[in-house]
Amino acid sequence: MISEAERAGAELVVDLGAVVANWRALRRMVGPRVDCAAVVKADAYSLGMVPVARALAVAGCRSFFVATPDEGTGLRRVLGRHGAIAVLHGVPPGAEGFFARHRLTPVINDLGALERWGRHARARGRAAAAYVHMETGLNRLAMPAADVERLIADPAPLRGLAATWMGHLACADDAESPMNRAQLDRFRGLLARLPKGAASFVASSGIALGRDYTFDQVRPGYALFGGDLAPGARKMRPVVRLRARILQVRRVDTPGTVGYGAAHRVTGLSRIATVPVGYADGYRRSLSGRAQAAIGTRLYPVVGRISMDLTTIDVTEAPANTARPGAWVDLIGRRAPIDTVGAWAGTIGYEILTGLGRRFPRRYVGGPDGA
């Protein structure tokens, strides 16, 4: 019987063993006294929240972050009663009971939300956890400085809450940026004026900045899935492999062209392989003429414009028995890592990873069940 990957002509292979190995490596980096959480928002960066979170939970991860309440309830079904789940977008007005029923911890981004969550906790007569995300310089989503100052002057809204103070760096992937130290100093200054509590300051790249930044908890996401911590920092184990079968190999000679807009003009007798992945699958059009794809251990250039469903590769230099219809080509993998593909596309690996489409199946290897 033909497999799902053969029907689709492509598949995304996700190495759950590598995800767990990356989490363990980061945990060793921060030391035993620091909680190493896992950010599994956006369906674990499109790799599948359910299998990824299950593998991490079996490995010992006990703290998880998602973006939305619905992601939180989906994760709660995976974890059961075990594990802490924090929702980065916070608790919407009127959703306090929903959060309590599903044992979700809100990340509080304004004083009004803190007051609502505290009142709900006191009305229930039991302490509730909360992250209080304080603005330190990113100016995106966090409690504004004026709200933080009000809380310092009057910490009454914290009654009934077990608060973890939270920050987030703007330039963590640039170890030389003065913003990192400025934000750290701002965060430490606020902690000194607030009631004592645990602190969580950095995500993936910030871990590479050292122990001054790690506090009581770190929140890696991208690094778990094979992304670089930062330029020159420790490399993580590759997790994803996007591979596609060659549909056709054709000979094109001068003055022939390849693809829409005649964007690629061959300079001699060439062999062009076509694979069934395109920008509808998240293999971005901006990779046209810039990316490379692997057959075995060698890389070959992507030529012509990437179209909605198809990509063309110049396999002139490849042995005919390896570049043939039905052979597998790696568009993302060890020879074309996710950060490199992002650079080829003129963006970041995060965008490539989270944009991978659903037409090709995910196949999981190295999981806790031996898959």
Catalytic residue among 196, 260, 283, 350: 260
Is 196 among the catalytic positions?
Answer: no
Catalytic residue among 41, 131, 213, 222: 41
Q: How far apart are CA 68 and CA 240, in angstroms?
A: 24
Q: Which helix (H) or strand (E) holds 244?
A: strand 240-245
Strand 311-314 versus strand 328-332 pairing type: unpaired
Please state, as a whole number, how many other Cβ atoms lie within 10 Å of the Cβ of residue 255: 9
Which single residue is written with the structure tokens 């009934």? 160
Please state, as a whole number, how many other Cβ atoms lie within 10 Å of the Cβ of residue 59: 17
Q: Give long-range contacts, CB 8 A cutoff, 24+ apart: 295-302.
A: 295/322, 295/323, 295/327, 295/328, 295/329, 295/330, 296/322, 297/335, 298/335, 299/335, 299/336
* Cα 100–chain centre separation: 27
Q: How far apart are CA 271 and CA 337, in angstroms?
A: 25
Task: Locate all alpha helices (DSSP H) within the chain, ordered by sequence.
Answer: 4-8, 16-30, 41-45, 49-59, 69-79, 96-101, 111-124, 145-153, 178-193, 204-207, 338-344, 349-354
Strand 362-365 versus strand 10-15 pairing type: parallel
Is 41 among the catalytic positions?
Answer: yes
Alpha-carbon dihedral 80, 81, 87, 92, rounded to 10 degrees: 100
Cross-strand partners of 249? 273
Q: Are 175 and 230 in contact (CB under 8 A)?
A: yes
Cα-only R_g, the chain = 24
**DSSP one-letter string for 172-194:** TT-TT-HHHHHHHHHHHHHHHHS
Q: How far apart are CA 263 and CA 258, in angstroms?
A: 7
Q: How far apart are CA 206 and CA 200, in angstroms?
A: 11
Q: Give the active site residues.
A: 41, 260
